[in-house]
Amino acid sequence: MTFDDIQGNEQVKQALSGMVASGRIPHAIMFHEDDGGGAIAFCHAFLELLFGSAKVSRMIHLDVHYTFPCVGGLSEPYLPQWKELVLSNPAFTENDFNEALGFESKSAIIAVPEAKAILNCLAFNPIEGGYKAVVVYLPEKMNADAANRLLKAIEEPVGKTQLLFITHAPEKVLPTISSRCQRIRLVPDRNVKGNDYIGERMDLFRSLMDSLLARDLGAALDAGETLASLKSREKMKAFCRFAGDALREVFLLQQGLKDLSAVDNEYLRELAEKCRRTFPRKASEVLDRANMLIDRNVNQKILFCDMVNRMFLMI
């Protein structure tokens, strides 16, 4: 995997290549991607350039380690499923991750045992010489105790240590971690991102939005019931993130900022013409609230009924 194999984000690729060429490399880099944005491919391309080894993208380099939210304290038992997921689809979504590792109905976090495992890993010299790297997926799911244990490794890295974080919500990453990282925003490629706007989530989104636009509260509540009956909390959260992203695209179109939009979708263009200009921003806040309440185990039928009612009053 090289940067030439990755579409889009040319400035990011140039910046990362320049870091390696100059030898001026931040020891901690945080990639902010949209869900399914393929940041893992950027991590592999960067590390492959840094290590000078194609083993990285094949996920067999002995000095590249991975950390991700899990159930039971340690991610190591789930590494085979993780590697299979990444190698088969580098642009996997958070929902794909939870399904592949069997976390659909569970709360996966990065806890103290995982932080200890990272520190133990970094304490040893690189096996193949040169750098040692840890890729951390979804640091926003790291608890405070784990973050505090990692703090010294980020502030005072031992030898040639490289930490790469991949986040979907940088505002939720504990400040003790995010403030010590070089932040890099990955902008979704228009053509790749457009693939997200087909399938089940888009069908659910259209059903909800069409009923809201028609001022049909009964149909809108039925759409909410359908959302509440999704098989797992992760699927519900994935829908909320998807709908929020879609409405942010609608907002950009309404503001005449088509060039900044990451997708080219006829339905979103129609929504931009039919919705009030205040709706996308306010509705996105409602969806963010619903996402948060799902994590708090609020009754799902009540939660989505409330969400639909709030959006009905806004449109």
Q: In the chain, what are the domain boundaries?
A: 3-187, 191-314
- Mean pLDDT (whole number) for 167-192: 83
- Mean pLDDT (whole number) for 49-59: 93
Query: In the Cβ-directed half-sphere of 229, how many Cα atoms lie within 13 Å?
Result: 7
- Mean pLDDT (whole number) for 262-290: 90
Would you say residue 272 has pLDDT above 70? yes
pLDDT band at 79; cut points 50, 70, 90:
very high
Q: Is 274 left (phi over 0), alpha (psi -120 to 50) or beta?
A: alpha
Lowest-pLDDT choice from 20-24, 155-159, 193-197, 230-234: 193-197
From CA 8, how far away is CA 13, in angstroms rounded?
Answer: 9
Lowest-pLDDT choice from 144-158, 183-197, 242-256: 183-197
We find that the CATH architecture of domain 3-187 is: 3-Layer(aba) Sandwich (3.40)
Q: Helix or strand or coil: residue 272?
A: helix
Pick the CATH number of 191-314 from 1.10.10, 1.10.287, 1.10.260, 1.20.272: 1.20.272
User: Which residues is 11 bridged to in the sheet?
Assistant: none
Contacts of 11 (CB under 8 A, 6+ apart): none
The predicted pLDDT at position 231 comes to 83
Lowest-pLDDT choice from 61-65, 96-100, 148-152: 148-152
- Mean pLDDT (whole number) for 260-282: 87
Residue type, 158: V
The predicted pLDDT at position 206 comes to 95
Contacts of 108 (CB under 8 A, 6+ apart): 68, 69, 70, 71, 98, 101, 141
Largest CA distance in the chain: 64
Q: What is the DSSP string of 185-216?
A: EPPPPHHHHGGGGSSHHHHHHHHHHHHHHTT-
Higher pLDDT, 39 or 295: 39
Q: Are strands 132-137 and 161-167 parallel, antiparallel or unpaired?
A: parallel
Would you say residue 197 has pLDDT above 80? no
Task: For 90-124, write each residue's pLDDT tens digit.
Answer: 989 888 899 899 987 778 899 999 999 999 888 88
From CA 269, how far away is CA 260, in angstroms rounded?
Answer: 14
Distance of CA 292 to the CA centre of its chain: 15
Average pLDDT score, the chain: 90
From CA 285, how far away is CA 279, in angstroms rounded?
Answer: 10
Residue type, 60: I
This prediction's pTM:
0.73
CB atoms within 10 A of CB 279: 21
| Residue in 299, 232, 263 with CA at minimum distance from that of residue 97 | 232
Whole-number percent of the chain with pLDDT over 70? 95
The predicted pLDDT at position 189 comes to 63
Q: Is residue 287 within a helix (H) or strand (E), and if so which, with residue range?
A: helix 279-295
Would you say residue 40 has pLDDT above 80? yes
Write out the two tokens for 220. 């809108």
How far is the CA of 281 from the CAs of 121, 237, 244, 249, 288, in angstroms? 44, 18, 9, 10, 11
The predicted pLDDT at position 121 comes to 85
